[in-house]
Amino acid sequence: MILQVALVLIIAMCLYLIVFKYQLFAKFEVKEIKFPTGRIIFTSYKGQYSKVGEKIKTVISDLDKYADFKNKKISHTYFGIYYDDPCRIVDPNESRAIVGIIIFSENLKNFNADEFINKFEEKSLSYQTKSFQEFKSVGAKFPLFNFINIMSGIFRGYPAIKKYAKNMGILENFQCSLEIYDYKNKELTISFPYESESDLLWLSGYPVPVYKDTEVYKTK
């Protein structure tokens, strides 16, 4: 009995330390987030969103090998844009996304996108580049230390952001979600663009999956 109690206490202490260390229940504020102009380098993904982490790891590896961002002192962050609600489509394996890096306007002066795309093409890596204009979104920021933080941010952030947007009457304007993984500053941003986000839409190259209902997002 004493051993069982001790084991429970040890497990509880470990869980507490994990929650405390990684700030899993840190307070967050849902608000409007305005993004400046910028450029993305990305590759497409189709499959279950729960497995997109492997694709992001591949992107990080490719960029470390061929992009040489550190030596060029180009500030960038990794991102994922997710176009589908896996709970609303018939087959979650048809979920569409793009993942890559995002570089905002203040850092573009040191950046030649074509140079990097050519390097990737030489290695037969399928990356594309796209500029985008400034856009508004609704979102929140969370601590980012590891994958646990991302899962915590998704489970806590998505419902809160959608509730906020519904109260503002802009929920129907959401056509994708944008997650920015800023490992340097240990910050995760989860947002839903709702205005002037057309430059970021429908870049996956995959067809729209079959939805369980008729209220699906409109596509171009």
pLDDT band, residue 8 (cuts 50/70/90): very low
- pLDDT digits over 77-132, tens only? 899 999 998 888 899 999 999 999 888 887 777 667 677 777 777 776 788 888 88
Least confident of 114-118, 144-148, 174-178, 190-194: 114-118
Q: Give the mean model confidence (pLDDT) for residues 9-31.
A: 59
Structure token digits, residue 51: 């497995």
Question: Is pLDDT at 137 greater than 80 in this prediction?
Answer: yes
Domain boundaries, the chain: 36-200
Q: Does pLDDT of 56 surpass 70?
A: yes
Superfamily (CATH H level) for 36-200 = Regulatory factor, effector binding domain (3.20.80.10)
* Joined tokens for residue 22: 């990684």
Residue 16 pLDDT level (bands cut at 50, 70, 90) = very low
Three-class secondary structure assignment of the chain: CHHHHHHHHHHHHHHHHHHHHCCCCCCCCCEEEEECCEEEEEEEEECCHHHHHHHHHHHHHHHHHHCCHHHHCCCCEEEEEECCCCCCECCHHHCEEEEEEEEEHHHHHHCCHHHHHHHHHHCCCCCEEEEECCEEEEEEEEECCCHHHHHHHHHHHHHHHHHHHHHHCCHHHCCCEEEEEECCCCEEEEEEEEECCHHHCCCCCCCCCCECCCCCCCCC
Closest CA to 76 of 63, 61, 88: 63
Q: How far apart are CA 24 and CA 156, in angstroms?
A: 10
